[in-house]
């Protein structure tokens, strides 16, 4: 009798595993083919976990603020000195840029051109949680569809590109960053306007804090180390002209036609607390881009 | 019912801690995997069925907040929970070597599966690099956390079992 009951129980567990496996596989396929996300699951999970994560973050922030208070005066003074120097440098840079901008505006007016890099509408959000695993670079921010965020919006921090929203719940949004191993961005070098494909890479990111680029056509060898890379107008997901980083190394591919190498991103992905969400999403198929001839200015990356 | 509530609280705390505090405490970008400790230890403490369901919910949670497609991690963690449940008969609460062995093996298996599904198929063939820089450090870090977390989980499970037994007795009388 007992044996029989045991056998029955074991069978039922096995059947349950089978049923759950089928549930999981249908889940995977529906989310793959229909490209839908959790829906009600997102809502429930968002309302339960996001407040907890926010709470822990506020506590952590408070502690780190308190520990920062104990920084010695000497350190602060040194930092102040450095910042002052930087300030002077930046002010002089700003002045020249202002003059250039004045020129640019005049010329644009003459040529009847629209602003090439429109100022995007942005909203600030803070990072509340990161990917639980160590393979990918995904994080969640504390604003969601209630604040008008949508799938496909670009995320910036400071002046650089961080990533793209891949999923939204009512009070959170999931962001896949550009350093994620599966991320791909169409980009271009500002100095020569050559297009390339930038992809995140766990290996180069771990070893020298860089992401890789490939398929750069640069037959005249004009692209150099240190050239800024921005998002390209051919990208169907990313807004044009957002700074990604600077070229750190270039190598010729074996086909002698294209080049690949690494880019150092401008954003510090490890210490990211606040980000900016660009509320405009890229509308594919609009804006016939004018092939602006000549060397376009390299400083137009601030939108 | 009590067990379900307690389990939910444990999973929630572990998930929130793993996605916030332990990401901040990561060494060289490597954070421990608390979820695998919970799934694996409840698997071998409570059997295949409970391990399976806990695995499914932990995985689903990871899917919602950081996965690609809904269901991938759920499937993976569900099988890990189920497989740990097979070893329930060999489990003695006082022995820590066997649980550590199981949790360690689960962590490595989980990461190997992620590597094969999501990295190898995209042409990342340098297995030795990923093994050395992701799988091994995570294993070590997870083992260190296991020593503390496993005792807490085991104590909670014991308390739950005692209260369940008491309730069952009351029912009989």
What are A86-112's pLDDT values in tens digits?
999 999 899 888 888 888 888 777 776
pLDDT in tens, B83-109: 999 998 888 877 888 889 999 999 999
Q: For residues A240 and A229, give the distance between their C-alpha atoms in angstroms, rounded to a whole number.
A: 11
Quick one: average pLDDT of A147-151? Answer: 88
Domain CATH code at residue B160: 1.10.1760.20
- Decide if B71 and A57 are in contact by the 8 Å CB cutoff: no
- Decide if A52 and B12 are in contact by the 8 Å CB cutoff: yes
Question: Percentage of chain B surpassing pLDDT 90?
Answer: 43
pLDDT in tens, B119-172: 888 888 888 888 888 899 999 999 999 988 998 999 999 999 898 888 888 776
Please name the member of A24, A30, A174 whose beta carbon is closest to the beta carbon of B65.
Answer: A174
What's chain B's average pLDDT? Answer: 88
- pLDDT for res A290: 34
Do B81 and B132 touch, CB atoms closer than 8 A?
A: no
Which of A171-175, A285-289, B39-43 comes out lowest in average pLDDT? A285-289
Question: Percentage of chain A surpassing pLDDT 70?
Answer: 85
What are the residues whose beta carbons fall under 8 Å from the beta carbon of A209, sequence distance 6 or more? A264, A265
Q: Report whether pLDDT(B65) > 90.
A: no
Q: Which residue of A has its CA nearest to B48?
A: A13
- pLDDT for res A11: 66
Quick one: average pLDDT of B51-69? Answer: 89
Q: For residues B34 and B14, give the distance between their C-alpha atoms in angstroms, rounded to a whole number.
A: 6
CA distance A115 to chain B (A): 37
- Decide if A24 and B75 are in contact by the 8 Å CB cutoff: yes
Do A297 and A104 touch, CB atoms closer than 8 A?
A: yes
Q: For residues A86 and A78, give the distance between their C-alpha atoms in angstroms, rounded to a whole number.
A: 12
- pLDDT for res A303: 34
Number of domains in chain B: 1
Residue A189: both structure tokens together? 């070098």
Distances (CA, A) of A87 to A83, A84, A94, A95, A96: 6, 5, 10, 12, 14
Interface check A43 vs B, CB under 8 A: no
What's chain A's average pLDDT? Answer: 81
Q: For residues A290 and A235, give the distance between their C-alpha atoms in angstroms, rounded to a whole number.
A: 15
A interface test, pick of B9, B14, B19 with most A CB neighbours within 10 Å: B19
Do A182 and A200 touch, CB atoms closer than 8 A?
A: yes
Residue A11: both structure tokens together? 């069978």
- Give the bridge partners for A163, in sequence order: A155, A177
- Decide if B75 and A135 are in contact by the 8 Å CB cutoff: no
Contacts of B122 in chain A (CB under 8 A): 181-182
CA distance B46 to chain A (A): 13
Could you tell me which residue, B105 or A73, shows the higher pLDDT? B105
Phi, psi of A186 (to 5 degrees): -80, 130
Residue A133: both structure tokens together? 């695993």
Q: For residues A236 and A172, give the distance between their C-alpha atoms in angstroms, rounded to a whole number.
A: 24
Please name the member of A16, A128, A181 whose beta carbon is closest to the beta carbon of B52.
Answer: A16
Q: Report whether pLDDT(A292) > 50.
A: no
Question: Percentage of chain A surpassing pLDDT 90?
Answer: 13
Q: Report whether pLDDT(B49) > 70.
A: yes
- pLDDT for res A159: 78
- Please name the helix (run of DSSP H) or strand (run of DSSP E) that holds residue A245, with its range, or none: strand A243-252
- pLDDT for res A284: 55
If contacts are CB pairs under 8 Å, which of residues 36-55 in chain B contact chain A?
48-49, 52
CB pairs below 8 Å between A and B: how many?
Answer: 133
- pLDDT for res A5: 54
Do A57 and A130 touch, CB atoms closer than 8 A?
A: no
3-state per-residue secondary structure call for A185-241: EEEEECCCCCEEEEECCHHHHHHHCCEEEEEEECCCCCCCCCCEEEECCCCCCCCCC
Distances (CA, A) of A132 to A7, A12, A139, A214: 38, 32, 9, 29
| A120-282 topology per CATH | Thrombin, subunit H (2.40.10)
- Decide if B72 and A28 are in contact by the 8 Å CB cutoff: yes
* Range of the structural domain that residue B68 is part of: 2-172
Of chain A, the end-to-end C-alpha distance in Å amounts to 77
Interface check A188 vs B, CB under 8 A: no
Contacts of A16 in chain B (CB under 8 A): 49, 52
Contacts of A139 in chain B (CB under 8 A): 66
Cα Dmax for chain B: 64
Do A165 and A177 touch, CB atoms closer than 8 A?
A: no
Q: For residues A277 and A244, give the distance between their C-alpha atoms in angstroms, rounded to a whole number.
A: 15
Q: For residues A269 and A183, give the distance between their C-alpha atoms in angstroms, rounded to a whole number.
A: 14
Contacts of B12 in chain A (CB under 8 A): 48-49, 52
Q: Report whether pLDDT(B20) > 60.
A: yes
- pLDDT for res A10: 58
- pLDDT for res A271: 81
A interface test, pick of B26, B50, B64 with most A CB neighbours within 10 Å: B64
B interface test, pick of A32, A35, A134 with most B CB neighbours within 10 Å: A134
Q: For residues A211 and A201, give the distance between their C-alpha atoms in angstroms, rounded to a whole number.
A: 6
Give this prediction's pTM.
0.80
Domain ranges of chain A: 2-68, 74-111, 120-282
Phi, psi of A163 (to 5 degrees): 175, -155
pLDDT in tens, A199-223: 988 888 888 888 999 888 877 788 8
Residue A187: both structure tokens together? 């980009």
If contacts are CB pairs under 8 Å, which of residues 48-87 in chain A contact chain B?
48-49, 52-53, 56-57, 60
- In this predicted complex, what is the ipTM? 0.82
Quick one: average pLDDT of A10-22? Answer: 82
Q: For residues B113 and B79, give the distance between their C-alpha atoms in angstroms, rounded to a whole number.
A: 11
Interface check A92 vs B, CB under 8 A: no
- pLDDT for res B37: 93
- pLDDT for res B10: 92
Interface check A34 vs B, CB under 8 A: no
């Amino acid at each position: 009798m007992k044996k029989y009951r045991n056998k029955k129980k074991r069978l039922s567990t096995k059947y349950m595993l089978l049923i759950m496996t089928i549930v999981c596989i249908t889940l995977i396929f529906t989310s793959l083919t229909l490209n839908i996300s959790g829906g009600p699951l997102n809502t429930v999970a968002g309302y339960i976990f996001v407040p907890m994560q926010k709470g822990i973050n506020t506590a952590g922030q408070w502690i780190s603020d308190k520990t920062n208070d104990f920084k010695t005066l000497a350190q602060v003074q040194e930092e102040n000195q450095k910042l002052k120097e930087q300030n002077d440098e930046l002010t002089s840079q700003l002045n020249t840029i202002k003059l250039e901008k004045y020129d640019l505006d005049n010329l644009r007016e003459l040529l009847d051109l629209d602003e090439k890099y429109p100022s995007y509408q942005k909203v600030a959000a803070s990072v509340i949680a990161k990917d639980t695993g160590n393979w990918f670079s995904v994080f969640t921010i504390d604003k969601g569809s209630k604040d008008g965020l949508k799938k496909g919006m670009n995320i910036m921090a400071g002046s650089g590109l961080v990533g793209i929203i891949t999923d939204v719940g009512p009070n959170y949004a999931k962001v896949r960053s550009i350093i994620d191993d599966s991320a791909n961005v169409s980009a271009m070098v500002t100095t020569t306007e050559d297009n390339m494909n930038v992809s995140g890479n766990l290996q180069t990111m771990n070893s020298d804090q860089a992401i890789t680029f490939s398929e750069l056509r640069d037959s005249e060898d004009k692209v150099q180390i240190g050239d800024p890379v921005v998002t390209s107008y051919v990208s169907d997901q990313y807004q044009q002209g957002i700074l990604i980083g600077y070229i750190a190394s270039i190598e010729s591919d074996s086909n002698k036609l294209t080049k690949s190498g690494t880019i150092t991103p401008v954003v510090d992905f490890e210490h990211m607390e606040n980000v900016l969400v660009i509320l405009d999403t890229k509308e594919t198929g609009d804006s016939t881009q004018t092939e602006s001839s000549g060397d376009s200015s390299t400083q137009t990356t601030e939108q | 019912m009590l067990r379900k509530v307690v389990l939910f609280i444990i999973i929630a705390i572990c998930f929130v801690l793993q996605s916030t505090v332990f990401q901040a405490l990561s060494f060289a970008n490597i954070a421990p995997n608390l979820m695998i400790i919970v799934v694996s230890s409840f698997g071998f403490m409570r059997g295949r069925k409970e391990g399976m369901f806990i695995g499914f919910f932990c995985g689903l949670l990871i899917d919602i907040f950081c996965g690609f497609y809904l269901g991938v991690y759920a499937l993976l963690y569900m099988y890990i929970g189920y497989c740990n449940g097979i070893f329930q008969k060999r489990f003695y609460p006082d022995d820590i070597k066997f649980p550590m062995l199981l949790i360690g093996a689960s962590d490595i298996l989980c990461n190997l599966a992620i590597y094969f599904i999501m990295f190898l198929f995209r042409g990342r063939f340098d297995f030795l690099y990923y093994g050395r820089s992701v799988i091994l450090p995570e294993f070590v870090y997870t083992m260190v956390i296991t020593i503390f977390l496993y005792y807490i989980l085991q104590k909670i499970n014991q308390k739950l079992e005692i209260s369940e037994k008491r309730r069952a007795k009351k029912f009989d009388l």
